[in-house]
Structure formats: structure tokens, C-alpha cells
């Protein structure tokens, strides 16, 4: 795992930040920052946290960036089953059916409550509906 590579990819692809912007935010030279991304300079945890703050992510996200992408790619491009097709109703077909039904019930109850309140408000202003 090369942390600098992960930082560079997040900076370029996800945030579209320039190296000089990152260096300025960190209070270091652009060359010193380039050394971090090029894996020339070892990075401290404190520096990793500062970079994560600038990139609006967690240090763990930076550390696991390439691995996470590989797992995502393998899940959707495994060429042995789904051929890249995302199954949209996985929760209904799989293990989360009870949770899904409970959430749907709570949402329905909430909407019914809102309707009752709106009807009461309309009646209080003597508006026909």
C-alpha cells in the first residue's frame, strides 16, 4: 500500500484540488507536498489527519482507498454472476426484509399523521377539501 498514491488519487479524482492548494493548506512547500504524494517522505499520523481534513474524509479512507475500490470493482465486475448489474432490490430479496418492512411501516404511519394534521388545519380554517 502506498499512501501517497491514495492521497494523489483522492485529491485529483474526487476533489480536483491542485498540489499547491494542498501545500498551502498544510503550510509546506509544493515540493514537500509532492514528496508525500510520491512516497518519498514518510507521513506521520498527524500529517495524515491534516490531509484527511483538507480532503474531507477520514485517515482510514485514505489508507484503504485502493483496497475499497478493488472490492467495489470486483463486486460489480466479477464476470461470474451479475456481469456488473446492480440489483436494486437487494434488501427485499435478501436478509434485510424485516428492517425494510419496518421502515416502510414507519414512513407510512408518519405520512398518515401528516395528512391528519393537514386535514385538521384545513377544517380549522373552514376550507373544504
Distance CA 57, CA 54 (A): 8
Alpha carbon dihedral 73, 10, 62, 27, in 10-degree steps, equals: 170
Distance CA 120, CA 100 (A): 30
User: According to the model, what pLDDT value does residue 80 have?
Assistant: 52
pLDDT mean across residues, the chain: 81
Place of cell 485529491: 11
pTM metric for this prediction: 0.54
Distance CA 56, CA 128 (A): 51
- pLDDT tens string 13-46: 999 999 999 999 999 999 999 999 999 999 999 9
Which range has highest mean pLDDT (49-53, 99-103, 116-120)? 49-53
Residue 116, pLDDT above cutoff 70: yes
- pLDDT tens string 52-106: 999 999 999 898 887 766 555 555 555 555 454 555 544 444 455 677 787 888 8
Nearest to 61 by CA among 5, 10, 106: 10
Residue 42's φ and ψ, nearest 5 degrees, are -70, 145
Amino acid at each position: 500500500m502506498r499512501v501517497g498514491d491514495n492521497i494523489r488519487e483522492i485529491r485529483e479524482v474526487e476533489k480536483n484540488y491542485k498540489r499547491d492548494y494542498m501545500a498551502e493548506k498544510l503550510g509546506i512547500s509544493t515540493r514537500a507536498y509532492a514528496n508525500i504524494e510520491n512516497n518519498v517522505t514518510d507521513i506521520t499520523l498527524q500529517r495524515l489527519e491534516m490531509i484527511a481534513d483538507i480532503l474531507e474524509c477520514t485517515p482510514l479512507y485514505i489508507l484503504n482507498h485502493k483496497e475499497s475500490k478493488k472490492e467495489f470493482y470486483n463486486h460489480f465486475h466479477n464476470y461470474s454472476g451479475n456481469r456488473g448489474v446492480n440489483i436494486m432490490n437487494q434488501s427485499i430479496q435478501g436478509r434485510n426484509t424485516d428492517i425494510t418492512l419496518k421502515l416502510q411501516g414507519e414512513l407510512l404511519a408518519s405520512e398518515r399523521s401528516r395528512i391528519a394534521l393537514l386535514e385538521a388545519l384545513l377544517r380549522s380554517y373552514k376550507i373544504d377539501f
